[in-house]
Amino acid sequence: MTEPGAIVERLPHGPHGLSREEVRASQQQRILEAVMLAVGTRGYHEATVAHVTTAARVSRSAFYEQYSDKREAFLAAYTAWGRQFFGDLVRAGQQAGSLREIIAASGEVLVQRARQEPEASRAFILEVYATGEPGLQAREEMLRLGQDLFDALAADLQARDPAAVPPVALAGLGVIGASFELCAHVLRHPGDVMLDQVREAIEDLWWVGLTGVSARSRRAGDSRS
C-alpha cells in the first residue's frame, strides 16, 4: 500500500515503456486502495465493483482479471493494509528506546492511522465482519500478528527485567482487540479530545497487558519515589 489516503495515479495512455507485469501490479495497487476507500465510505454491502473500478481508474475487465469478486478483492486489500499497519507498529517500536517510549509510539500509530485514514480504518476494523467467515479468518490472522508483536515486547521486557511477571496467555489478543475497538470509537466520535483520550487508554491497556500495572499507577509510583 502507498502513503495514507493516496490513490496510485492511473498509467498514461499510449506507450509508457512498462511491462505487462508492471501494468498489472499498478492496477492491482489501485484496486486494493480503492476497495478499502469504497468499503470504508459506503459500507461493505453498499460498495460495488463499479465504485471500486471508478475510484481505481481501471476497467471492469481489468478488475476481474485479478479478482473473482468484491469479497476476494476486499480481503486481499484488508490483508495488505493490515500487514502494512503492523509493519508500521514494528518500525515505530524499533525507533523508540525504552518500553515506555515503545508503547507510546505504538499508541500514536494506532490513533493517527484512524485519524489520517478514516475510511480504510473503518473498512479494516468494522466492515470486515460483513464478509462472513472468510473475513473472520482474515481478522484472526491480523490478531495473530498483533499477538506476535505483543509477545516480542513481553520477551524484551523479560530480558530487561528478569523479575518482571510474564503476561498471561493470549493477553496480546485482548490488548490488540481492545485497541481496535478504541480506534473504532475514534472513527465514530472524531475530534482531538477523543483522540487524546483514546491514545491514553491504549497506552494504559498495553501497560496492564504487559506488566499487570496501569500506566497511571506506574506514574504515581514514580512520582512518590
pLDDT on residue 1:
53
CB 177 within 8 A of CB 203: no
Q: Which three cell numbers stand for residue 133?
A: 467467515
What residues have CB less than 8 Å from 181, skipping those under 6 apart?
Answer: 125
pLDDT on residue 220:
59
Q: Which residue intervals of the chain are DSSP H helices?
A: 20-42, 49-56, 60-66, 70-95, 99-116, 118-125, 133-160, 171-188, 192-211, 215-224
pTM: 0.86
Counting runs of H as helices and runs of E as strands, what totals does the chain give? 10, 0
Low-confidence ranges of the chain (pLDDT < 50): 2-8, 11-15, 225
Q: Which three cell numbers stand for residue 57?
A: 481508474
pLDDT on residue 17:
63
Cα 153 to chain centroid distance, Å, stands at: 18
CB 187 within 8 A of CB 121: yes
pLDDT on residue 219:
62
CB 74 within 8 A of CB 44: yes
CB 135 within 8 A of CB 75: yes
How many other C-beta atoms are found inside a 10 Å radius of the C-beta of residue 129? 11
Would you call 191 helix, strand, or coil by DSSP?
A: coil
Domain ranges in the chain are 75-224
How many other C-beta atoms are found inside a 10 Å radius of the C-beta of residue 127? 21
CA atoms of 12 and 3, how far apart (whole Å): 21
pLDDT on residue 22:
87
HEC string of 47-100 equals CCHHHHHHHHCCCHHHHHHHCCCHHHHHHHHHHHHHHHHHHHHHHHHHHCCCHH
CA atoms of 183 and 179, how far apart (whole Å): 6
**Looking at the chain, how many residues does it have?**
225
**CATH number at 75-224:** 1.10.357.10
pLDDT on residue 59:
96
